[in-house]
Amino acid sequence: MTDVVRKFFTTSMLMWKAPIVILNGFNNNLFPGSNQLSSHSLTILSGFLVISVNIEFKFIP
């Protein structure tokens, strides 16, 4: 039971931190070429990255 709680806690923390790191990276131009994108393209790209990270966490055993 404690193993399940530990996995849940770890996954929950990662699901909160990963999207924040991705969005922060786009806001500070840490990704190469992100400063050349329009604001609409940047919003769509960052949204897809956040969604893909959350989908990936679904498949962590």
Task: Please state whether the predicted TM-score (pTM) of the whole model is above 0.85.
Answer: no
Phi-psi region of 31 (alpha: psi -120 to 50; beta: other; left: phi over 0): beta
Residue type, 11: T
**DSSP state, 36?**
G
- Would you state the pLDDT for residue 25? 82
- Would you state the pLDDT for residue 61? 63
Q: Helix (H, G, I), strand (E, B), or coil: what is residue 6?
A: helix
Q: What is the pLDDT of residues 3-56, one digit of tens each?
A: 888 888 887 787 788 788 888 887 888 878 877 888 888 888 888 888 887 777
- Would you state the pLDDT for residue 38? 86
